[in-house]
A = this chain, B = another copy of it.
Amino acid sequence: MDQRFQNLLATAQDKCDGNGLRLTQKRKQVLNILIEASSPLSAYEIKDLYAKQHNENIKPMTIYRALEFLVEANLVHKLNLNNKYIGCARAKCCEHHGYSQFLICVRCGNVEETNVDPVIYEHLVQQAQAYQCEIVMPHLEVACICVRCK
């Protein structure tokens, strides 16, 4: 396996250990698949890759459980725009995961994860206040066309 993947996994392990979360084997295997893919995968694409890599069938329920944990731990994000899951691009650099913004290419599916611009965040909060809403915002998804697809 690529050294970079090893580092990401090790960092993820540390993050979980430090927060009392259990990054079990199944969860780590699912995370590994997403990190290696480096582009979003559907739950059933993960299922198929798992079956190939481990030469062992795995049930959807198991995948969804692992994903639920990983999303909760901010190691993986669920993209609603295309209904896929992606390994966090910032697992290595950010101890405290803030609000993310995803530029999602509607043609090739490539994704760039960045921080939500503070100016944008402030404007969103203000607008929400006009409706007396409190922003929860796990993240922001922006549809775009990437440089390779133009």
Listed in ascending order, the chain A residues whose CB lies under 8 Å from chain B are: 80-81, 83, 101, 103, 105-106, 112, 114, 117, 119-120, 123-124, 127-128, 131-138, 140-147, 150
Contact A146 B131 (CB under 8 A): yes
Contact A146 B133 (CB under 8 A): yes
User: A124 — which chain B residues lie within 8 A by C-beta?
Assistant: 120, 142
Contact B127 A114 (CB under 8 A): yes
Residue of B nearest to A80 (CB): B80
Contact A143 B136 (CB under 8 A): yes
Number of this chain's copies in the assembly equals 2
Residue of B nearest to A114 (CB): B127
Known: A120-B124, A123-B117, A124-B120. A141 touches B80 (CB 8 A): yes
